[in-house]
Structure 1
């Protein structure tokens, strides 16, 4: 992990991001609420992903809230941190309800995993009673349609909870990282799959425009899962399943900003990072922190 941010310099004219008040201290509605869902116990790979929400919060202080685009002014937003959910693996229903409580006050919930099991309470909590009309977009190297309960099963579990597979779009699915059986399951469920190679020929904006249209076709809320192992291993070494040849860091950052601009996107999660295994420079955790800021900048544009 990168060094502690306590030694960072101080400058009145260079404010740092991430010093957000607790959600309970703010009366009224929020624009963006950050919440930690530190899932790790059902992971298919050995992980300390439960340490990641705290690491991302720390990394946020390495950055400024300033964006050069004149309409992406984070300072106009009411931002708050709802803290971490206690034991989301063991008390998933309570975790879902906690997200729901935060979502009722927020235009956008940004959930920090944890492994990809965090996607289930993050999405269900944000959707509330709208599961039947909801949509899901994943940036992920994997289908996450496995049997059982693990970080490899959240998409299947959301379908079983009532999500229509025809309003699921999976972006960045990689060769040699999945099986024929789960690819066939995705087809049977009506899931739209946009493989990693498509992003070599199409822009993130173009792909997301298609995905948002599909996921939002019933007029319900959309959850966006940013599984960071969709990225190239050079920029995401702290993701146990990241592989050489994944998408670039700038593509994931762009996805976070463009997705947050869309009025039907009610929640975004950032998952599958084990902060304790990051490179010395903290590059994976820093990418996650920048995705939080990109989402805030996108929300400011709405």
Structure 2
């Protein structure tokens, strides 16, 4: 089963009143996407705050976006108006990179959730309707299962290259340790291999075809036969690569603390170079 929907498919679901839509706009360097949401969003979509709803405050050693508890996500999902059995579509304005965090948490919580391929740009390109202001909705009573499944601790991430492929999905120059705009130390987790999540995204913002995705992964030793885990800077982009892996038919784990946790934990070894 695909984890994506097209803009046309989403329009049909909305017309049939068969889906709940969540706007998960967030980008690095922007407090949140609420202003953009209020300016214009998919009709009926409810705004999701990535910082407050899909992560929590924590010690720097936990990373910049620590994994939230099931109770926190469930409380937020009820505020969004979700009930048990609802079909959900999430989208953003970053080719799915922030929406994938919601996809990961909700799918592990037992929700039927998909990501709008290409996000807000694809919706507008398809001629989709838009509305401004906040959507009106009634709070829901959804019950989530444990959202922390397939999440790695820092020790598990450190040991992962011994038996699987640990994918660092940041830009190559950050992986090599040449630059580090966000975290205290540049470099990568020893044994990790680099595959930036952006290589999976086409010029129009949608995911590339399944054959091309599988070829991208095969080039770094990921073919479905070996365990694979992902990490990034703060844990958000790692979920996007996990989504791409799912589309390629490969299950993945995520080190949600990612480089921000690793680089803030004293004594952790640092690798640099290609």
TM-score when normalising by structure 1 = 0.32
Query: Which has a greater percent of strand?
Result: 1
Greater per-residue helix proportion: 1
When normalised by structure 2's length, the TM-score is: 0.35
